[in-house]
Structure 1
Amino acid sequence: MLPSSLKPYANPTLLHRHKWRGRVGLILVASLSVLAGMTDAIGFMASGDFVSFMSGNTTRLAVAISDGDLGLTGRLTLLVATFIAGNALGVIISRISKRHALPLLLCIATLLCGAAAWPFVDQLPALLAAIIAMGMLNAAVEEVNGLPVGLTYVTGALSRFGRGLGRWILGERRNGWRVQLIPWAGMFVGAVIGALLEQRMGIHALLVSGLLAAFLGLVSLMIPHRWHLGYMPR
């Protein structure tokens, strides 16, 4: 018997398309996670602040509040608020562009390239531009064939993988939990690449992130628009 998630695709042709939509979606997730990992590592090494890992910034914010460090508290509050604004802006751009990834990724590329080209000593504006870009990136893919995915954070993915592993050990054979390692692996590989780039280029390594975002946007043109409708936020 087919899994319940595939029953609407009992027709062999529709089932084939469903599988390919899932594979392409996961490749896109992996690629965008590499972009997120690169950008986060570059931003963290260049400034000491996380660009996409807001769980880390939230913990640091709590510690700063407990220490009475008003300067760091204000800075981290601004970073978290900027990330939230980036997520909202990503959904707005997604809707305006009729839920196609290209306009969104080109906006992200522009922000990252602008951050890389920031000419002044104060890196905070460049950091904020990168954070907005990472917030927006989450609107590029929200789910693949009904499976939720995260691009700029992996705690949820590891949690879903771990819970799926627990169910598998108990004998339950549900589908989809293994794919949660894809965004984690993509972000890990991207972070390694980003760290190596930052060691050589400093914050200007964000230029590579920007070019990758633009490249992925162009590649997304090969993905049928109806598939984007299933990937991006409704």
Structure 2
Amino acid sequence: MLPGSPSRDSQRQQRVQRRGTVGLYFVAALSVLAGMTDAIGFMATGDFVSFMSGNTTRLAVSLGSAELGPVLRLALVISAFVLGNALGVIVAARSGRRHWPLLGVIALLLAVAGMLPEPMQLLALLAAVTAMGMINAVVEEVNGLPIGLTYVTGALSRFGRGLGRTLLGQQRLGWRVQLVPWSGMFIGAVLGVLLEQRFERAALLASALTALLLAVVSWKIPRRWQLRYMPR
């Protein structure tokens, strides 16, 4: 080996670091998309698009109050989210775990949701919810660290546990990155509120455009890195 040339281990470490950095930027952008869509959907319809914990609690309350209409609506919303996650895995597997086909389908669903007329609001809501279910299959982990795109409660929980262990003097890596999806979702939600106030449900077209732009960006991500973001 020539003097001053990096060792193989050093080069490998640099590649892993670059892959992780790109992955976190991608996660941040996807979380912005999720937060924006959730805020638009909530303000336009009164239902959460990606926050199924909230919808589950609302379902239980409606069930306890014997409100059949909300029970059926929320049951459909939760089912659409589960279906979206399943479809996301299927599309990812069939496309060789590439991001752009999956993001393309998400963009299409969000565009449909934004263009459907007001009498078809429930169908628009279900299309947006399905899209948010699918987005969870785009990136599932970065350098072995689990990442949640539409459920930031888990991210805050992992961050809090990591903080506690650090205060105890335990050396744990990776817990700080859990703030990335939370921050992205928060910023996206603020953008979503501003867009919905101006364009109402048609603001979902901005979400569709964002998903399409992310699909284009994903072309630039090396194939071998994409495989590490979407584990088997």
* Coarse TM-score class (shorter-chain normalised): over 0.9
Q: Which amino acid aligns with 2:171?
A: R
Q: Which amino acid aligns with 2:149?
A: L
| Partner-residue secondary structure (3-state), 1:11 | helix
Q: Could you tell which deviates more after superposition, 137-146 or 10-19?
A: 10-19
Aligned pairs (5 A) from 1:106-145: 106-145=104-143
Question: In the TM superposition, what is the alpha-carbon distance from 1:233 to its structure 2 partner?
Answer: 3.8
Question: In the TM superposition, what is the alpha-carbon distance from 1:10 to its structure 2 partner?
Answer: 6.8
Query: Deviation digits for residues 175-213 of structure 1, max 9, x if unmatched?
Result: 100000000000000000000000000000000000000
Q: Partners in 1 of 2:187 and 2:85 — Cα distance?
A: 23
Give 1:40's aligned residue: 38
Which residues of structure 2 form unaligned runs of 5+? 1-6
Q: Which amino acid aligns with 1:31?
A: A
Question: In the TM superposition, what is the alpha-carbon distance from 1:119 to its structure 2 partner?
Answer: 2.1
Identical pairs, percent: 63
| Partner-residue secondary structure (3-state), 2:185 | helix
What is the root-mean-square deviation of aligned Cα atoms in Å?
A: 1.0
Give 1:6's aligned residue: none
Give 1:196's aligned residue: 194
- 1:34, 1:188 within 8 Å by CA — same for their partners in 2? yes
Q: Partners in 2 of 1:221 and 1:71 — Cα distance?
A: 43
2:26 aligned with 1:28, yes or no?
yes
Question: In the TM superposition, what is the alpha-carbon distance from 1:153 to its structure 2 partner?
Answer: 1.1
Query: Deviation digits for residues 34-71 of structure 1, max 9, x if unmatched?
Result: 00000000000000000000000000001011111111
Q: Which amino acid aligns with 1:216?
A: L
Scaled by the length of structure 2, what TM-score is found? 0.96
- Match of residue 206, structure 1, among 204, 211, 217: 204
Q: Partners in 1 of 2:138 and 2:120 — Cα distance?
A: 30
Aligned length, in residue pairs: 226
Aligned pairs (5 A) from 1:1-234: 11-234=9-232
Question: In the TM superposition, what is the alpha-carbon distance from 1:13 to its structure 2 partner?
Answer: 0.9
Q: Partners in 2 of 1:117 and 1:165 — Cα distance?
A: 44
Q: 1:233 to 1:129 in 2, by over 3 A?
A: farther
| Partner-residue secondary structure (3-state), 1:122 | helix
- 1:91, 1:233 within 8 Å by CA — same for their partners in 2? no
Instruction: Write out the 4+ residue segments of structure 1 that deviate beyond 6 Å after TM superposition.
Output: none
Scaled by the length of structure 1, what TM-score is found? 0.95
